[in-house]
A and B are shown apart, each in its own frame.
Chain A
Amino acid sequence: MQDALNDLEGSGILSREQAALLRRIYGRELFSVHWELRLLLYAGILILTTGLGLLVAKHFASIGHLALLAAIALGCAGCFAYCLRRGGGFSPQRSPTADAGYDYALLLGCLLFGTLQGYLEFRYQLLAQHWNWWLLGSGLLYLLCAHYFDNRLVLSLALSTLGAWLGVKTSLLTAGGWDAALRGNAIFFGATVVAAGAAQVRLGWKRHFLPVHLHLGINILLAALVAGIDSDTGLRYLPALVLVCAGSAFYAQQSRRFAFLLYALLFGYLGVTIFVFEHVRWDTEGYILYFLITAAALVSALVAFHRRFRSAE
């Protein structure tokens, strides 16, 4: 790199200051431990919350429920208070992060809130068989926190919790054969998450949340549709799968986010293959030929796609 930096400075592309700074970075005279410290912080918070959970489970009889509840609630409130004090308030745009501990304090607060809910339900059984409403409550609170404090990690937590609520609710309410209902809910949830992301972009509200919405929503939607193809009513799911895959591939092409091309081709290929194998009776040679021809066609299509869009850039 040093030779390239000399060349770029000599040709006037980089200024002397820029080249000097880059030389210091590549020569390790300036060394960032940004990621290492964040990894340590993240591991510490996860271990701490796990330890607290174990501690609660072990000592709740001797310490007393109210003392434990108060301690968890206090910790949770402390974290949210810290974020409220240090944060810049709500903004529909991306907000700068206050400091290193801000995001992690918010995550800790949310995780402690989950522990508090679990403990309340475990000890007092406030909602009894309707305990899944705790999931909805925490999901909505996380969603609120994600938007207010502008935090994508908590947004992922919120969407996952809401998805879990739908799944648990379906399995609790449906007596038997709940896989179809679960699949329907997953399709509804995936489509809603994608639509919510798109709506936010149109409204100009937290546009940078769109990738989280899309990655999560598309994966849930495609997984549910592929699972549907394996069912008795598989024919109904195939057009929807093809449509969503085409949409995902189109978005990949338009936005040059090729992860969505990966989702489209992998889920689409899996779904179509399941459908073909369930509805067509071939000899072994036929199945092998199917794989040979489809793989060759897809490789050719990918090469053509790359040539057209120069995906490396």
Chain B
Amino acid sequence: MIALYSTGEDRVQVVEESWRWEEAGLVSPEQAAAVRERYRPELVRVNLFIRLLLAIFTTVGVVALVALPAVILDFEVFGIAVLLLLFAPLCAWVADRQLIHGRRLYRCGAEEVLLLLAVGFLALAVGISAHEWGRSAERLGWLAAHGIALAGATVLAVRYGYALAALGAVAALAGLPFHLVDALQWHQPGWARVALFLLLGTAGIWAHQGLVRREALPRGYLWCLETVRLAALAGIYLDVNLFAHRLLWRDWLGWTPAAVSWSDPWFDLCCAVLTILLPATALALGLVRRDRALLWYAVIAGTASILTLKYFLHLGYLAEEVTAAGLALTGLAFGILRWLRTGADRRRGAFTGDSLLEPHLYGLDAEALAAMQPLAPTPETPAADGFRPGGGGFGGGGASGGY
């Protein structure tokens, strides 16, 4: 990561955490203000909504700027490719030199979009330039564009710690085997699926290993690794869950079972076992390592597994199964909540059902959460004499609190 971000992010993190401490009632507003003053960041940040607006209008402006000479000079494919090749480094230079290093912008929308556009323009230039050289060349051209997109997203994630770029890199990586099969006309979609599974598995394990030393990682890398791990786990889950799998491959992508070479009973059994094992393993790892991302994955994937149980085990009819699943999940959640509350200091071991700090999602601040508040639980009311573990009340449901 660039030195500006790796050194400046620490101060940004402390300032952002101070807001959470204040909202959770752990520190007084005066203390929080003192923290913010002491750790005043050198990097320039903007509010999330202004960041979104800057990203949208920068995209509109830059695309119009590229389109204008192309229309005025009536460029054909080759001319447009040259134009894109000129604008790609220009966008990267403006973002990196002028905005990030010159004006010290940190996740302000404009510079992020310019860097993403630079990668997109480069890939597009390579992809469209092969259009006039025949069908085979065009296929290879788009394959090269795919490779450029993958490499570019990886560079952005590594250099600037952009989680969105990391997500793009995982998506490009997941699509690569299929693009290769299509471009090289192998007609072996089954092998592409195996490659996808292996790639996602490797990426997921690599990211998980990287997160073991999370304390030493810059915040941007932490988000990137979390994104890679969750995206890989989600991809693997969607591939092994038979319901999602058939919906994706048969109904959406239109692949017939004959095209997918594995239709043996053991294949379904493997999928069933993995559909149960993935959330269960994530839950176990999440609890042992107290890893929030894994716990969220376990809750969402576990719920999806229970809901799609019918595709593996024919226990009864859909209505009964869904009702039983709902009862089981609700009962489980209530049971755990009660169990945690009845422990000493309202906790069991390290775990508590009370809220300690507000959730910290990527780039979201309290106001962003307020915008989606109907689903957001009530925050803790700040205690007059600071936070005391075990003394909080439950919010729940998002119904009655405010940010």
A22 touching B26 in the complex, CB below 8 Å, given contacts A31-B350, A292-B61: yes
B370 x A211 contact (CB < 8 A): yes
A4 x B323 contact (CB < 8 A): no
A94 within 8 A of B: yes
Contacts of A48 in B (CB 8 A): 323, 326-327, 329-330
A41 x B333 contact (CB < 8 A): yes
Interface residues of A in 277-311 (CB under 8 A from B): 284-285, 288-289, 291-292, 294-296, 298-299, 302-303, 305-306, 311
A31 touching B35 in the complex, CB below 8 Å, given contacts A52-B323, A100-B337, A288-B64: no
Contacts of A211 in B (CB 8 A): 370, 373, 402
A21 touching B50 in the complex, CB below 8 Å, given contacts A259-B371, A288-B71: no
B295 within 8 A of A: yes
A202 within 8 A of B: no
Interface-facing stretch out of B9-17, B186-194, B200-208, B257-265: B9-17
8 smallest A-B Cβ distances: which pairs?
A: A48-B326, A103-B397, A51-B323, A44-B329, A295-B61, A44-B330, A51-B322, A311-B47
Q: In this complex, what residue of A is CB-closest to B323? A: A51
Contacts of B336 in A (CB 8 A): 33, 37, 40
Interface-facing stretch out of B229-237, B244-252, B266-274, B385-393: B385-393
Q: In this complex, what residue of B is CB-closest to A209? A: B402
A51 x B325 contact (CB < 8 A): yes
A39 within 8 A of B: yes
B356 x A153 contact (CB < 8 A): no
Quick one: which of A28, A103, A303 has the most chain B CB within 10 A? Answer: A103
Interface residues of A in 52-111 (CB under 8 A from B): 52, 54-55, 57-59, 94-97, 99-104, 106-107
Known: A41-B337, A288-B68; 17 extra A-B contacts, CB below 8 A, are: A13-B35, A13-B38, A22-B21, A51-B319, A51-B322, A55-B320, A99-B393, A100-B394, A102-B396, A107-B399, A262-B52, A291-B63, A298-B57, A299-B54, A299-B58, A299-B61, A302-B57
From residue B342, how far is it (CB to closest CB) to chain A in Å? 12
A1 touching B53 in the complex, CB below 8 Å, given contacts A51-B325, A100-B353, A152-B399: no
A37 touching B356 in the complex, CB below 8 Å, given contacts A1-B14, A13-B35, A212-B374: no
Alpha-carbon separation in the docked complex, A212 to B372 (Å): 9
B381 within 8 A of A: yes
A25 touching B352 in the complex, CB below 8 Å, given contacts A97-B395, A284-B71, A295-B58: no
A33 x B330 contact (CB < 8 A): no
Q: How many A-B pairs fall under 8 Å by CB?
A: 291
18 contacts between A and B (CB under 8 A): A4-B39, A31-B290, A39-B300, A46-B326, A47-B326, A51-B322, A52-B326, A58-B317, A58-B319, A97-B396, A99-B393, A103-B395, A107-B397, A152-B398, A152-B401, A208-B402, A259-B367, A291-B61
- Spell out B's residues near A (CB within 8 Å): 10, 13-14, 17, 21, 26-27, 31, 34-36, 38-39, 44-50, 52-54, 56-58, 60-61, 63-65, 67-68, 71-72, 110, 215, 290, 292, 295-296, 299-300, 303, 306-307, 317-334, 336-337, 340-341, 347, 350-357, 359, 367-368, 370-371, 373-375, 377-378, 381, 386-387, 389, 393-402
A265 within 8 A of B: yes
Q: In this complex, what residue of A is CB-closest to B283? A: A36
Alpha-carbon separation in the docked complex, A154 to B36 (Å): 37
Contacts of B299 in A (CB 8 A): 36, 39-40, 43
Contacts of A313 in B (CB 8 A): 36
A262 touching B333 in the complex, CB below 8 Å, given contacts A153-B375, A291-B61, A292-B65: no
B68 x A289 contact (CB < 8 A): yes
Alpha-carbon separation in the docked complex, A303 to B395 (Å): 37
Q: In this complex, what residue of A is CB-closest to B107? A: A312
A41 x B402 contact (CB < 8 A): no
CB-contact partner of A33 in B21, B44, B72, B295, under 8 A? B295
B389 x A21 contact (CB < 8 A): yes
Alpha-carbon separation in the docked complex, A94 to B395 (Å): 12
B357 x A28 contact (CB < 8 A): no
Contacts of A151 in B (CB 8 A): 397, 399-400
The interface residues of chain B, by DSSP majority, are classed as helix
B333 x A44 contact (CB < 8 A): yes
Alpha-carbon separation in the docked complex, A194 to B295 (Å): 39
Contacts of B49 in A (CB 8 A): 258-259, 261-262
From residue A55, how far is it (CB to closest CB) to chain B in Å? 4
A312 x B46 contact (CB < 8 A): yes
Contacts of A104 in B (CB 8 A): 330, 396-397
Q: In this complex, what residue of A is CB-closest to B320? A: A55
Contacts of B13 in A (CB 8 A): 1, 4
Contacts of B377 in A (CB 8 A): 34-35, 38
Quick one: which of B326, B327, B357 has the most chain A CB within 10 A? Answer: B326
Alpha-carbon separation in the docked complex, A39 to B304 (Å): 13
B61 x A32 contact (CB < 8 A): no
A18 touching B399 in the complex, CB below 8 Å, given contacts A33-B340, A50-B326, A100-B334: no
A14 within 8 A of B: yes
Contacts of B58 in A (CB 8 A): 295, 299
